[in-house]
Structure 1
Amino acid sequence: MSIKLIIADDNSFIREGLKIILTSYDEFEVLDTVNDGQEAVEYCTDHDVDIALLDVRMPNLNGVEATKLITEQTNTKPIILTTFDDDEYIVDAVKNGAKGYLLKNNDPERIRDAIKSVYNGNSILQDIILEKIKGNLQEKEEVKTKIDTSKFTERERDIMALIAKGYSNKEISKQLFISDGTVANYISSILGKTGLEHRTQIAIYYLTGKVN
């Protein structure tokens, strides 16, 4: 079964280039290319689309705004694909339901793998995202939370704090002297309590107190 894609980018050269690259893989079917976020939303509303590759900076409706509408109105999974790594866009895209955030300078194989991973239910967020979030903090030790801590156990709060500092599951397990599997179980519990979907959203929630 082919993974059905659309590509939204106001740069026709990039749009068509991506289409050529992606159609070279048997597992992808590029249904259409569109010029902006509004066209992407309308196409996903009217058609059965698995993945929408969205540029950030587009006229009429940008990729972050389109992500929100596509997530709310369709079953399509948005992936932000951009040359920009602005903090504001990263955080807002994740909050709006982006399942992936990749820079266009990735090699085709990495983009291919990311699309397949998102299609299979995973979230792909490059290390640069948490690095940007951490970059907003002067020192790791200065991380402060704005969440309602009463909803979480002490261990869950510890894990959320470490996620917000950019720690991987393996690093968290070493820090707290628990197994990787136990860390994963705690993260699943946190996701269940908050309605969030992945660990990057946990980091943003811990830092801002907002789930959307």
Structure 2
Amino acid sequence: MRIKLLIADDNSFIREGMKIILTTYGEFEVLETVSDGKEAVDYCRSHEVDIALIDVRMPNMNGVEATKLLTETTKTKPVILTTFDDDEYILDAIKNGAKGYLLKNTDPERIRDALKSVYFGNTVMQDVVLEKIKANMTHTTHKTKVDTSLFTEREMDIMALIAKGFSNKAISKELFISEGTVANYITSILNKTGLEHRTQIAIYYLTGSVV
């Protein structure tokens, strides 16, 4: 069974080029290419699409708005594919349900691997994107807007370290607890907030909002 894709980009050269590249891999079937976010949402609402590759800046409806609607009204998993790595777009896209954020100059093999990973339930962020998020979090973590009454002191410590980009292993060393205990705390945080993954925890710690 092949992964069904939609490509949304207002640049015909980009979207057709991406279609040609992805079609060379046997795992994918590009069902359609469209030129704006509204067309992407309309198509995914009426067809079974596994993943929508979406540009950020498009007419009629941008990629962030399309991501929000796709997440709310379809089973399609949105992945942002763009040349723009602005912090604002990164945060907004993730908060609105994007399952990945990739730059267009990414090697095709990495895009292939990322799409397969998203299909199987993971969230994929390129290193350059994660670094921007971490830098943003690092400067603002001491001003968290989270309601601290909802969490234990240890959970707050772990959220702060996640926001700084610490891995589970690094958190375990920092707090002198086992990686299994870290994982249990993270599961508790996810259950309390309704979030799905670590990147969303970092954003929640920054904004105080569950989106």
TM-score range, shorter chain: over 0.9
Mapped to 2, the partners of 1:80 and 1:134 lie a distance apart of: 19
The answer to whether the 8 A contact 1:10-1:58 is kept is yes
Q: Is 1:43 the counterpart of 2:43 in the alignment?
A: yes
Residue 139 (structure 1) shift: 4.8
Residue matched to 1:6: 6
Residue matched to 1:81: 81
- 1:174 is aligned with what amino acid? K
Q: 1:181 to 1:53 in 2, by over 3 A?
A: same
The answer to whether the 8 A contact 1:137-1:143 is kept is no
Residue matched to 2:207: 208
- 1:31 is aligned with what amino acid? L
Q: Deviations over 1:131-160 (max 9, x none)?
A: 2233336758x6321111111111111100
Matches within 5 A, 1:51-200: 51-136=51-136, 139=139, 143-200=142-199
Residue 174 (structure 1) shift: 1.1
The answer to whether the 8 A contact 2:137-2:163 is kept is no
Q: Is 1:22 the counterpart of 2:52 in the alignment?
A: no
Mapped to 2, the partners of 1:38 and 1:131 lie a distance apart of: 30
3-state SS, counterpart of residue 136 of structure 1: helix
The answer to whether the 8 A contact 1:143-1:165 is kept is no
3-state SS, counterpart of residue 52 of structure 1: strand
Q: Percent identity?
A: 78
3-state SS, counterpart of residue 58 of structure 1: coil
Mapped to 1, the partners of 2:129 and 2:149 lie a distance apart of: 28
The answer to whether the 8 A contact 2:137-2:202 is kept is no
Q: How many residues align?
A: 211
Mapped to 2, the partners of 1:134 and 1:118 lie a distance apart of: 21
Question: Which stretch of the first structure deviates more once superposed, 29-38 or 162-171?
Answer: 162-171
Q: Deviations over 1:24-69 (max 9, x none)?
A: 0111000000001000000000000000000001111011000000
Question: Which stretch of the first structure deviates more once superposed, 49-58 or 118-127?
Answer: 118-127
Q: 1:138 to 1:195 in 2, by over 3 A?
A: closer
Mapped to 1, the partners of 2:130 and 2:186 lie a distance apart of: 17
3-state SS, counterpart of residue 79 of structure 1: strand
3-state SS, counterpart of residue 21 of structure 1: helix
Structure 2: segments with no counterpart, 5+ residues: none
Residue matched to 2:33: 33
Mapped to 2, the partners of 1:156 and 1:63 lie a distance apart of: 33
3-state SS, counterpart of residue 143 of structure 1: helix
The answer to whether the 8 A contact 2:155-2:185 is kept is yes
Mapped to 2, the partners of 1:206 and 1:137 lie a distance apart of: 8
Mapped to 2, the partners of 1:143 and 1:133 lie a distance apart of: 15
3-state SS, counterpart of residue 143 of structure 2: coil
Mapped to 2, the partners of 1:113 and 1:36 lie a distance apart of: 25
